Amino acid sequence: MVEFRPKYITIRNVVGSSKVSPNPPYPFTGWIRYWEATYREIHDFSTPIRPEYTCPFCNTSKPTSDIVGGHVQKVDDDDKSWYIFPICSGCNKDNDKETQIPYESLDLLIPVPSNLIESEEDEDKEE
Ligand SMILES: [Zn+2]
């Protein structure tokens, strides 16, 4: 089946995710550690966040220590799953921010285990 592949996809930092999904899977001490471990499993121990990483929300290069695992959703997509995506700590506080990432960066989206989302998702709020 041939599908139209956009060059970029839009992702949004999920509002209120820290309340609904505060804790990464045991034994990880932060979502970014879970994210990196999972990414390395898939990509043969490579990691794009060391020693620094360009946050796609602010387009700024930051040291790894400034990178956190943000909860994001795809915008304009039937897939409403939550994913962990590396973003800088400043942008992680700025909920509901959107940005475009190249289609090739889709593999940076690591799914949040659904058993770690504590309540139903908020309904989509359209502007
Ligand atoms: Zn940023």
Domain-embedded: residue 125: no
Domain-embedded: residue 77: yes
Ligand 1 centroid, distance to 67 Cα (angstroms): 8
Ligand 1 centroid, distance to 43 Cα (angstroms): 24
Output the pLDDT for position 21.
82
Ligand 1 centroid, distance to 115 Cα (angstroms): 28
Tell me how far apart the alpha carbons of residues 58 and 43 are, in angstroms, rounded to a whole number: 25
Q: What are the per-10-residue average pLDDT scores of the chain (127 residues)?
A: 80 86 90 96 95 96 97 92 96 90 94 72 45
Ligand 1 centroid, distance to 23 Cα (angstroms): 21
Domain-embedded: residue 30: yes
How many separate domains does the chain show? 1
78 is in which domain, residue-wise? 8-116
Output the pLDDT for position 20.
80
Bridge partners (DSSP) of residue 69 are: 86
Q: What's the residue count for the chain?
A: 127
Ligand 1 centroid, distance to 117 Cα (angstroms): 24
